[in-house]
């Protein structure tokens, strides 16, 4: 990690938070600049390459707006961990000025996630959440909940399960590199593999409600139904009897914070 990059992130945090800054949760969107023919091509068809690029830009704006909305209720800062290299000029004209930028280019997705998390922790953040860029209607309250979970005492991770077997968010209080190594990225095994790695590391895992990625024709239909036809997504329901003690920082009799139990209703894209 370059010293110049780390110093830039530290200066951005100091400028935003002021000299009395304490705990802060950094939420970074794994973002790609919108380039027709190379960005989000899994949405083609039914979209054209140009439409897929335009939709990507709108999704990035939605993700930024969701983070800023959550930041009104929690100590959260927003970032775009972007690629490809040299694409920085795309973002200022398309995103709010309060969203920070960090170039994150690596051979694999796991390496990218590791690098951005390490950069944000090294810059002094108390927690880091890595967020996908394909869930534009994700409720900002889920981001606030992730921050609340991570702010409580004790080490743990928070996961936002996606309907395709991956996750839309992973958050942590310290860097756990093993969570990103040896993963079958872009498959329906990512979530189960991550949970298994967390168990091996002895980490408590708190699950957020499920949501969906918009990365193919079927999920595009789900988005159209939700946004244009008033068909709410069948999200998961949190068992509040376990969630509320967690958010108050109360430990279980074993001394560990309990994982949140989620009652999943079937997704119906």
pLDDT per 10-residue tile (average), the chain, 269 residues: 49 46 90 94 92 95 97 96 93 95 91 96 97 96 95 95 95 97 95 95 94 92 91 57 39 35 30
Q: Would you state the pLDDT for residue 233?
A: 86
What pLDDT shows up at residue 3? 53
Question: C-alpha dihedral over 180, 172, 102, 138, to 10 degrees?
Answer: 100
The candidate with the shortest Cα–Cα distance to 155, out of 257, 32, 47, is 257
Residue length of the chain: 269
- Predicted confidence at residue 105, as pLDDT, reads 85
Vertex 117 angle, CA 97 and 130, to 5° = 65
**pLDDT at position 1:** 47
Burial of 46 (C-beta count, 10 Å sphere; 0-12/13-18/19+): exposed
| Structure confidence at residue 211 (pLDDT) | 95
**The pLDDT of residue 235:** 54
The CATH number given to 23-263 is: 3.90.550.10
Q: Which of 228, 191, 193, 223 is nearest to 207 (CA)?
A: 191
- Which residues, 6 or more positions from 242, have their beta carbon under 8 angstroms from its beta carbon? 258, 260, 261
């Amino acid at each position: 990690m370059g010293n110049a990059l780390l110093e830039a992130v530290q200066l951005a945090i100091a400028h935003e938070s002021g000299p009395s800054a304490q705990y802060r949760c950094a939420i970074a969107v794994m973002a790609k600049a919108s380039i027709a023919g190379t960005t989000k091509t899994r949405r083609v068809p039914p979209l054209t390459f140009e439409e897929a690029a335009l939709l990507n830009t709108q999704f990035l704006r939605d993700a930024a707006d969701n983070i800023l909305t959550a930041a009104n209720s929690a100590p959260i800062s927003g970032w775009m961990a972007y690629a490809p290299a040299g694409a920085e000029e795309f973002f200022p004209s398309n995103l709010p000025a309060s969203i920070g930028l960090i170039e994150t280019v690596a051979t694999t997705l796991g390496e990218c996630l590791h690098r951005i998390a390490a950069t944000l922790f090294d810059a002094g953040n108390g927690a880091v959440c890595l967020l996908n860029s394909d869930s534009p209607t994700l409720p900002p309250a889920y981001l606030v909940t992730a921050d609340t979970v991570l702010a409580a005492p004790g080490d743990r991770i928070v996961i936002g399960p996606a309907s395709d077997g991956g996750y839309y968010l992973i958050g942590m209080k310290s860097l756990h590199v093993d969570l990103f190594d040896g993963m079958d990225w872009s498959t329906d095994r990512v979530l189960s593999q991550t949970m298994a790695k967390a168990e091996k590391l002895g980490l408590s895992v708190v699950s957020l409600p499920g949501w969906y990625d918009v990365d193919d024709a079927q999920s595009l239909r789900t988005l159209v139904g939700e946004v244009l036809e008033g068909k709410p997504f069948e999200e998961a329901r949190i068992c509040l009897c376990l969630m509320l003690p967690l958010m108050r920082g109360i430990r279980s009799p074993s001394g560990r914070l309990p994982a949140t139990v989620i009652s999943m209703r079937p997704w119906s894209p």
